[in-house]
C-alpha cells in the first residue's frame, strides 16, 4: 500500500479536476483526466481513437468496453507506475469492475455537492477556444472582461454548461455514478469531503482526512 492509486468522484462542478490536480502535484503522481485521455487517443490516429472519434461525432456515449481498453492502456504507461489519480473514470459499475481487475485503486475520494450548487457553479463557467477555463464569479479574466488572459480570444459558455444541460448530466450522475460509490464502499477505502467551501478549504479538508490513513500520511509529510 505504498503506491497511490486513487479515484476521485463527485457531481459535475464539485471540483474533481482541481482537487485531483493539486493532490497529484503534492504526491508526485499522475493526474489522469478521462477527457484528456480521450482527446489524446483520438489525436494519436490509432484504430481505437478513430472508433472513439466516430462515436463522439455522432453524439453518442463511448461504450464501456472502449473506455476500459483506453484506460487500461493509459494506466500501464511508465509515468503512471509511481501512482495516479483518475478523474472522470469510472462512471459506471461495469467500469469500476474492470478497473478493479487491472488498476486496483486503493482509495476513493468522493466530493459532495448539491445539485443547486452544481448548477450555480457550472452556469458561471466560461472557456476560450484553446481550453483555458474561467468562472465569472470565482476566477474571472484579469485583463479584459469576457476575453482570455492568455491568448485574448473571446470566452464562451459550453453547450453542456447551460442549466438545462447540467440538469441532464446530474440526472445521469445520480442514476449511474452514485451506484459506483455504493459499489466501492463495500470494497475499497472511501473518504467523503464537503465540496461546497472554497477550493483551498476543500483541499485542506481532503488532506486532513487523508492524513488519518497511516501509509498515506507518511508520504504526504515528505512532500
Say if residue 76's pLDDT is above 90: yes
In a domain, 158, yes or no: yes
> Which of 134-138, 170-174, 212-216 is least confident?
212-216
In a domain, 59, yes or no: no
Known catalytic residue at 125: yes
In a domain, 122, yes or no: yes
The helices-and-strands tally (H runs, E runs) of the chain is 10, 7
Known catalytic residue at 91: yes
In a domain, 145, yes or no: yes
Beta bridge partners, 7, equal 86, 108
Q: The domain containing residue 164 runs over which residues?
A: 5-33+84-222
Known catalytic residue at 101: no
Looking at 50, 137, 156, 158, which residue is catalytic? 158
In a domain, 55, yes or no: no
Residues 6+ apart with CB under 8 A from 51: 66
Q: What was the pLDDT predicted at 41?
A: 86
Known catalytic residue at 22: no
Looking at 74, 121, 125, 219, which residue is catalytic? 125
Beta bridge partners, 56, equal none
Q: What was the pLDDT predicted at 222?
A: 59
Say if residue 214's pLDDT is above 90: no
pTM: 0.84
Q: What was the pLDDT predicted at 223?
A: 54
In a domain, 77, yes or no: no
The cell numbers describing 67, all together, are 473506455
Looking at 39, 120, 169, 179, which residue is catalytic? 169
Of 62-66, 79-83, 209-213, highest mean pLDDT: 79-83
Say if residue 31's pLDDT is above 90: yes
Question: Number of structural domains, the chain?
Answer: 1
Which one is predicted more confidently, 101 or 213? 101
Which one is predicted more confidently, 221 or 116? 116
In a domain, 38, yes or no: no
> Where residue 205 sits, what CATH number does that domain have?
3.40.50.300
In a domain, 156, yes or no: yes
Q: What was the pLDDT predicted at 59?
A: 64
Q: Is the peptide bond before 6 cis (omega within 30 degrees of 0)?
A: no
**168 phi-psi bin (left φ>0, alpha ψ -120 to 50, beta other):** alpha
Q: What was the pLDDT predicted at 133?
A: 85
Known catalytic residue at 121: no
pLDDT band of residue 1 (cuts 50, 70, 90) is: low
Instruction: Give the chain's mean pLDDT.
Output: 90
Amino acid at each position: 500500500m505504498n503506491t497511490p492509486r486513487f479515484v476521485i468522484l463527485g457531481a459535475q462542478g464539485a471540483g474533481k479536476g482541481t482537487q485531483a490536480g493539486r493532490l497529484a502535484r503534492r504526491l508526485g503522481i499522475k493526474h489522469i483526466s478521462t477527457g484528456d485521455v480521450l482527446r489524446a487517443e483520438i489525436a494519436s490516429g490509432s484504430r481505437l481513437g478513430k472508433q472513439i472519434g466516430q462515436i463522439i461525432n455522432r453524439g453518442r456515449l463511448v461504450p464501456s468496453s472502449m473506455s476500459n481498453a483506453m484506460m487500461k492502456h493509459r494506466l500501464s504507461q511508465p509515468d503512471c507506475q509511481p501512482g495516479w489519480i483518475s478523474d472522470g473514470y469510472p462512471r459506471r459499475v461495469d467500469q469500476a469492475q474492470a478497473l478493479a481487475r487491472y488498476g486496483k485503486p486503493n482509495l476513493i475520494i468522493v466530493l459532495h455537492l448539491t445539485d443547486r450548487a452544481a448548477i450555480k457553479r457550472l452556469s458561471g463557467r466560461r472557456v476560450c477556444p484553446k481550453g483555458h477555463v474561467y468562472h465569472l464569479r470565482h476566477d474571472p479574466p484579469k485583463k479584459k472582461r469576457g476575453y482570455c488572459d492568455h491568448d485574448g480570444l473571446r470566452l464562451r459558455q459550453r453547450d453542456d454548461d447551460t442549466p438545462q444541460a447540467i440538469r441532464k448530466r446530474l440526472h445521469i450522475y445520480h442514476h449511474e455514478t452514485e451506484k459506483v460509490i455504493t459499489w466501492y464502499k463495500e470494497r475499497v477505502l472511501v473518504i467523503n469531503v464537503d465540496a461546497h467551501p472554497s477550493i483551498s478549504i476543500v483541499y485542506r479538508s481532503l488532506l486532513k482526512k487523508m492524513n488519518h490513513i497511516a501509509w498515506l500520511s507518511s508520504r504526504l509529510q515528505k512532500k
